[in-house]
A and B are shown apart, each in its own frame.
Chain A
């Protein structure tokens, strides 16, 4: 059974702080994704990675960066958090060549 975990369920940060969100999957998946989920906007892709140290920008990468040093771990970094980054952040993973994505439980981030 695929398991995708995220480091925190809830997080409160202050404007200007550097924020790290971590995602770990245990199924040896090559692809990993970061989305943000906002009411009425669905899931929007921030970044994805198809291999260690490889990354591609999604649809809304501004204000974010990512790191993938190990295959099982994909980190989302908010360099300087702003209030408009208050959102639910979802991580997902998939096997190379397969489109089905498996999601983590999400991190609800509040930036004050």
Chain B
């Protein structure tokens, strides 16, 4: 089955700096890669996703890049703000499988 590894487990940045979270996956058939954000005490919510036919996707301060050859994808947050502080999860979905396999999560803390 699919295995997703996520690094780092914790990340602390100064407000205004950039943050990068990286994930690798094992199943070359995976074709969908979402990122979820979970604020303290709240439910995970989708913030951005990318499919295997695209190399990069941006949404305001958030971008995701995908390298299919190396089987890794990354979340980039620019101009970080205190409200970006949360746990971020990457996930992968093999083609034809309805379920997601999640990474172990990254706790991002943005220091004001």
**Inter-chain contact total with CB atoms closer than 8 Å:** 49
Do the beta carbons of B99 and A41 come within 8 Å of each other?
no
Considering only residues 32-77 of chain B, those with a C-beta below 8 Å from chain A are: 32, 34, 36, 42-46, 49
Chain A contacts of B1 at CB under 8 A? 59
Number of chain A residues whose Cβ lies closer than 8 Å to a Cβ of chain B: 24
Alpha-carbon distance between A50 and B45 when the two chains are bound, in angstroms:
21
From A33, A99, A106, B43 is in contact (CB under 8 Å) with: A106
Q: How many residues of B contact A (CB 8 A)?
A: 22
Whether the pair A94, B98 counts as a contact (CB closer than 8 A) is yes
- Are B34 and A43 closer than 8 Å at their CB atoms? no
Known: A42-B103, A106-B43. A48 touches B98 (CB 8 A): yes
**A99-B49 in contact given A43-B89, A45-B100 (Cβ < 8 Å):** yes
User: Once the chains are docked, how many angstroms separate the CA of A103 from the CA of B105?
Assistant: 16
**A90 interfacial by beta-carbon distance below 8 Å:** yes
Q: Taking beta carbons and an 8 Å cutoff, which residues of A are in contact with B? A: 4, 31, 33, 35, 40-45, 48, 50, 56, 58-59, 90, 94, 99-101, 103-106
